[in-house]
Amino acid sequence: MTNTTETPSQDTPAAGAISDFGIDTTSQSTGEAVRDYWARVRGGELGSLPALLGLIVLLIVFSSLSDTFFTLGNLANLLQQGASITIIAMGLVFVLLLGEIDLSAGTASGVTASVMALDLINGGNLLGGMGDGVFYVFCGWLILAIVLSVLMRVWVGAAMSLIALLIAVLGVPANAWIGMLLAVCVGTSIGCITGYLVAKVGIPSFVVTLALFLVWSGVVLQFIGQGGTLGLRDDTIFNVANGNLNSAGSWALCVLAVGGYAAVLLNRHFTRLRKGLVAQPTALVLAKIGCLALLAAVVTFALTQNRSPSDLVVIAGVPYVVPLVLVLLVIGTFVLDRTSYGRHIYAVGGNKEAARRAGVNVEKIRMSVFLIASSAAAIGAIVYSSKVGSVDPNAGGGNTLLMSVGAAVIGGTSLFGGKGRLRDAVIGGAVLAVIANGMGLLKQPAAVVFMVTGLVLLLAASVDALSRRRAATAVR
């Protein structure tokens, strides 16, 4: 008797299953990619699309109403004007991805700026600048941040808080770079305490950060004094927000940014093709790269022209804040998209209990995002203090927090957690900067600016809520 093996025909269930599974190992045509994107948009996955469309509309409106909106000087001013809010918003994206909120980020940034200013003004002698009692409380707070970080095994928080403590206790001579490092480390220590209270003690983030909003407001007032102002006259600090790259550096940044984006996108694209996974059409990928290259080249060319109103002074080049924001964007995007830590953030934000059962250390993740938010707030405070040249008792107060949260939400980050990208903060920050700048050029009163900004934020929150409802309906 001869055994024979029958090959399944295409009509058998097994062959049908294989044929159906093949849909996951094919590349898309341009038409399929467009239809797929449109289907996701109709299903509620809007992402940053509403913010981008809104930004385009705002650019068209203000350019038609103001002759000075698209001038070289105003273009550079736009980039510098929105940098501090954008950076703080980038840190808040990490918190919002968990469905949490940090209402103290603004005043926390004021604390870090005032500590940096005190360090620079007093030659590194924080003891003399703060006074004995305040200085000892400050050091005790840093020690507490170290202990809490060690207990939670958040080693970055412990290390950064320790650096701040050593700079303070040793009285390291004043230096702009040391001062900025101290500010960031103090911001991290603030995040350690905030994160521990939320993650380990279990106090709702809204309550904790609302209380700390008031606490840090009082701390800034204590450091600076009622009606006082700490001037920042260091050239390095001044150049953070007001300096520019030279022409060669500006074009080098353009090439590096476009080249890096192209390398990452093409590598990901051809890797997927090589492995037989679904990938966008190569023509579409090249079109994305080409559009970015064209936009970057146009902006770089414009910014390398002399934009000084005086013939005696030359002001040209890409502002330093542009590479700073790009570096933070690249690092943050890599962390969220390419590391297990980033995947854990999305997992906890999507379903905390499911993430816990999958082995994710939820408490550690929840604490860590507040460290990131406060550290980013410190960097934003450095940029803002550089822009205005001083630190006053209102530092970090007013609308700083509202604008930062607004930038993230307007850009497309969900207030409900689990959905958002770091680029959302950049896009949302651009929208707010354009509104404030355009309204200023049109000489609109502050009341009108606040109302317009509030309506834009309300519209963004409404779009987020409606898109989530539509997505949930589509799943059912």
pLDDT along the chain (476 residues), means of 10: 44 41 51 70 70 86 87 86 92 94 92 94 89 92 95 94 94 91 96 95 93 93 85 89 92 94 89 80 87 93 87 86 94 92 93 91 95 95 92 83 86 83 90 88 84 81 70 57
Query: What is the pLDDT, as a whole number, of residue 468?
Result: 66
Query: What is the pLDDT, as a whole number, of residue 19?
Result: 39
Could you tell me the two tokens for 106? 């603004």
Residue 281 φ then ψ, to 5°: -60, 140
Q: Which is it for the CA torsion 161, 164, 165, 166, positive or negative?
A: positive
Rounded CA separation 26/400 (Å) = 47
Query: What is the pLDDT, as a whole number, of residue 4?
Result: 45
Query: What is the pLDDT, as a whole number, of residue 234?
Result: 87
Closest CA to 190 of 96, 87, 111: 111
Contact assessment for residue 373 and residue 190, using Cβ atoms and an 8 Å cutoff:
no
Closest CA to 170 of 135, 220, 144, 141: 135
